Amino acid sequence: MNFRVAVTTLLSDRCPPVFHMFRNYTSPRLRLHELLKKRQQELGWETAEPGRRPSVSSNVVPSEKNSSISSSSSVLNFLLSASGFLNAGESAPPEPPVESECGHKFDPIITDAEQLVWRAARATGAAPTYFRPCGRFLDGGLISNNPTLDLLTEIQEMQMVQQLQDKPPTPLAVVVSLGTGRMPVEPIETVDVFRPQSLMETFRSAMGFSSLGRIIVEVATMTEGPVVDRASAWCASLGVPFFRFSPRISLHITLDTTDTKELLQMVWETEAYLYRARDRLERLASML
Q: Are residues 159 and 245 in the same domain?
A: no
Co-location of 130 and 257 in the same domain: no
82, part of any domain: yes
Q: Which of 97, 80, 65 is nearest to 33 (CA)?
A: 80
How far apart (Å, rounded) are the C-alpha atoms in residues 67 and 53?
19
132, 178: one domain: no
275: enclosing H helix or E strand? helix 260-276
pLDDT given for residue 94 in this prediction: 59
Report the DSSP pairing between strands 137-139 and 6-11: antiparallel
The DSSP H or E segment spanning 56 is: helix 56-59
255-279 pLDDT per residue, tens = 888 999 999 999 999 999 999 999 9
Residue ranges with strand state E in the chain:
6-11, 18-23, 137-139, 175-178, 242-245
For 95, phi then psi, to 5°, come to -135, 150
What values do phi and psi take at 49, rounded to 5? -70, 140
Host domain of residue 128: 6-164
The verdict on 140 and 59 lying in the same domain is yes
Low-confidence ranges of the chain (pLDDT < 50): 47-48, 50, 56-71, 81-90
**160/25 same-domain check:** yes
Please report whether residue 192 resides in a domain.
Answer: no
Contact 155, 171 (CB under 8 A): no
Tens of pLDDT, residues 105-161: 888 888 888 889 999 999 999 988 889 999 999 999 888 889 999 999 999 889 888
Q: How many domains does the chain have?
A: 2
Q: Are residues 245 and 152 in the same domain?
A: no
The reply to whether 214 falls in a domain is no
> For the sheet containing 137-139, what is the strand order?
18-23, 6-11, 137-139
Cis peptide, bond prior to residue 17, ω within 30 of zero: no
pLDDT of 262: 92
Residues 154 and 275 in one domain: no
Burial letters for 204-231: b for 16+ Cβ neighbours within 10 Å, e otherwise? ebebbeeeeeeeeeeeeeebbeebbeeb
1 in a structural domain = no
CA 94/CA 36 separation, integer angstroms: 12
